[in-house]
Amino acid sequence: MSIDEAAARSGVQSELRRKVRCVLTYVLLHGAAWLAISQTVWWDDSFLEIMELGAAMLVFIGGPSLLIALVAVSEHRRMDVVQFRILLGMSLILCVWPLLGSSASEPLLFQVMAQIAFAALVPTPLVPANWAK
């Protein structure tokens, strides 16, 4: 194996690790948000019923959020990391629109906090491509 092939393979593995870390981070934050919701909301539903609702919301909220984040992280090369995280956080907050119809404010509040935390923790390149210019 030549040095170029090894470098290309290493780059692909690095990108794959970044995407897997991105997905795992989101799933853990989403689970933590719904755990907090299940402990604070005043609904008459049981813990398991609320967590099942949280798992269903992972499809409706988490799917678009992860799609946006994975595309953004893959294509992010030309802006400052802080600016990138702010723009990503603002776009991820739009994904929580299904919770606007909730009878309680806790699901919306905790999910928005999880989206912002995810934008802060999403793996990005440490140095943008045009940083040295």
- pLDDT at residue number 8: 58
Asked if pLDDT for residue 127 goes beyond 70, the answer is no
Name the residue with higher pLDDT: 122 or 35.
Answer: 35
**Above 70 in pLDDT, residue 102?**
yes
Angle, alpha carbons 25-27-29 (nearest 5°): 65
On the question of pLDDT at 39 being above 80, the answer is: yes
Would the pLDDT of 4 be above 70?
A: no
Tens-digit pLDDT profile for residues 56-68: 999 999 999 999 9
What tens digit of pLDDT does each residue of 13-36 get? 777 888 888 899 999 999 999 999
The predicted pLDDT at position 7 comes to 55
Contacts 24+ apart (CB under 8 A), 32-39: 32/114, 33/110, 33/111, 33/113, 33/114, 34/110, 36/106, 36/110, 37/106, 37/107, 37/110, 37/111
pLDDT band at 130, cuts 50/70/90?
A: low
Average pLDDT, the chain: 84
